[in-house]
Amino acid sequence: MLRFILSRLLQAIPVIFIVITATFFLVRAAPGGPFDAEKVVLPEVKRALEAQYRLDLPLHEQYFAYLADLAQGELGPSFKYPGRSVNEILFSGLPVTAELGFYALLIALVIGVTAGVFASLKPNTRQDYIPMSLAMIGICMPSFLLGPLLVLVFGIYLEWLPISGWGAIPGDKILPSITLGAAYAAYVARLSRAGMLEILSQDYIRTARAKGLPEWLVVVKHALRGGLIPVIAFLGPAFAGLLAGSFVVETIFQIPGLGRFYVQAAFNRDYTMILGTTVFLSSLIVLFNLLSDVAAAWLNPRLRSQFSGGSR
């Protein structure tokens, strides 16, 4: 198992390196620069700024200088928030985004698995069609539409929940979490339905029934573990999607998370900020993909014994 994890981590190094390189040259290829603001800046001032941030050096030298900093875990100063480093900004926004993502994932798993398992027990009946139709709507509905709709209904007409903010008023975390989690709940529901249907048709489920097990025990003990492996494997890629989705949701609900800094940085051509966030998030995505792969393998005894055989 250890060998598997180590080899996956080693594979991640070139992936992240390519991400850094591509982002570095792409943002600089985009028209405009960090100090091309609308108000006129004196040429001397601009030159001084560029010198301070090493923008006057040839491109390849900037690149190697950045890599050298990065190797020490230093993401550089932000161009647009003078006096603050990218590291500081990332770690101030991270807890908020992480909390939002965690709630969304929780909602996705609880609602999705429940609906999926429920639907799989009576396939092609109303018990299946209703949750699966809802799931289809959930997948099709973009968060920038669902968010404002939820705000309109629960915030403005019914006045049950606050319409924006994060942690300021009780209950203001509910709508953003639902907005972000809804689509994933829908995916999870479809995956767990398919997984459960596959497992429920296996011969060993018939064996369990022939032993006289009550139906709930057949489902929970014999079917669920195998049926949810596709869901676990999906969590890694889902994590990347959640991050991308959080940028939209944070903007809709005015939440001071990573996403908003990221989007603003792109508009401002805040090179170090864009790069720092990209590097950080891509590392997280690689890590979470690895975690979900390991978890899915761990749930399968056959793969588990192969891994422990390999690490000997």
Partner 1 sequence: MSLLKVENLKVSFVTRNGTQQAVKGVSFNVAEKQITAIIGESGSGKSVSCYALLGLIPSPPGRIDGGTAHFAGQDLLALSEGELRKIRGRDIAMIFQDPMTCLNPFLTIGEQLIEPLRIHRGLTREAAKVRAVELLHEVGIRSPETTFDSFPHEFSGGMRQRVMIAMALINEPRLLIADEPTTALDVTIQAQILQLIADLQKNRDIGVLFISHDLAVVADIADQIVVMEQGEVVETGSPDAIFNNAQHPYTRKLLAAIPSGEREGSAEECEVLLDIKELRTWFTAPGQDDPVKAVDGVSFGIHRGEVLGLVGESGSGKSTLGRSIMRLAAITEGTVTFDGTDVTALEGRELKNFRRRMQMIFQDPFASLNPRMTVYDTLAEPLLLHAICSRRELDGHIAKLMDDVGLARAFIRKYPHEFSGGQRQRIAIGRALATQPEFIVADEPVSALDVTIQAQILDLLLDLGREHQLTMLFVSHDMAVIRHIADRVLVMYQGKIVEAGPVRQVFDTPAQPYTQSLLASIPGAALTL
> What minimum distance in Å lies between the beta carbon of 187 and partner 1?
23
Nearest to partner 1 of 84, 221 (CB atom): 221
183-202: which residues touch partner 1 (CB under 8 A)? 202
- Return the residue of 225, 240, 241, 294 that touches partner 1, per CB under 8 A: 225
Q: How far is the CB of 282 from partner 1 (least distance, A)?
A: 30
* By CB under 8 A, residue 127 contacts partner 1: no
Of 151, 208, 219, 242, the one binding partner 1 by CB under 8 A: 208
- Residue of 39, 60, 126, 312 that binds partner 1 (CB under 8 A): 312
Residue 206 lies near partner 1 (rule: CB under 8 A): yes
Q: Give the amino acid at 58.
A: P
Tokens, residue 225 = 């573990």
Q: 22 φ, ψ to 5°?
A: -60, -45
Tell the smallest beta-carbon distance from residue 198 to partner 1 (Å): 13
The interface with partner 1 within residues 240-299 (CB under 8 A) comprises 299
Q: Which DSSP helix (H) or strand (E) runs through 216?
A: helix 215-217
Which residues partner with 77 through β-bridges? 85
> Under DSSP, is residue 85 helix (H, G, I), strand (E, B) or coil?
strand
Stretch of 53-61, 93-101, 137-145, 214-222 lying at the interface with partner 1 (CB under 8 A): 214-222
Out of 222, 234, 246, 292, the residue judged to bind partner 1 by CB under 8 A: 222
H or E segment to which residue 227 belongs: helix 224-227
Which residues touch 224 (CB under 8 Å, ≥6 apart)? Answer: 117, 196
The total of other beta-carbon atoms located within 10 Å of residue 5's CB is 15
Q: Give the shortest CB-221-to-partner 1 separation in angstroms.
A: 8
For residues 167 and 179, what is the distance between their CA atoms, to the nearest angstrom?
16
The CB-of-119 to partner 1 minimum distance in angstroms stands at 16
Q: Nearer Cβ to partner 1, position 43 or 301?
A: 301
Structure tokens at 41: 């800046």
Give the total of residues touching partner 1 (CB under 8 A): 27
**Is there binding between residue 126 and partner 1 (CB under 8 A)?**
no
Query: Is there a contact between 293 and 8 (Cβ–Cβ < 8 Å)?
Result: yes
In the set 226, 236, 257, 259, which binds partner 1 (CB under 8 A)? 226
Question: Residues 156, 211, 220, 298: which binds partner 1 (CB under 8 A)?
Answer: 211
Distances (CA, A) of 135 to 80, 113, 196, 239, 288: 42, 12, 16, 19, 25
Q: Which of 213, 254, 260, 278 binds partner 1 (CB under 8 A)?
A: 213
* Pair of tokens at residue 300: 């399968």
How many Å apart are CA 63 and CA 66, to the nearest integer? 5
Cβ atoms of 106 and 181 within 8 Å: the answer is yes
- Kindly write down the DSSP assignment for every residue of 269-292, as one continuous string: T-HHHHHHHHHHHHHHHHHHHHHH
Residue 223 amino acid letter: A
Q: Which of 85, 254, 283, 300 binds partner 1 (CB under 8 A)?
A: 300
Q: Which residues bind partner 1 (CB under 8 A)?
A: 202-204, 206-214, 217, 221-222, 225-226, 299-302, 305-306, 309-312
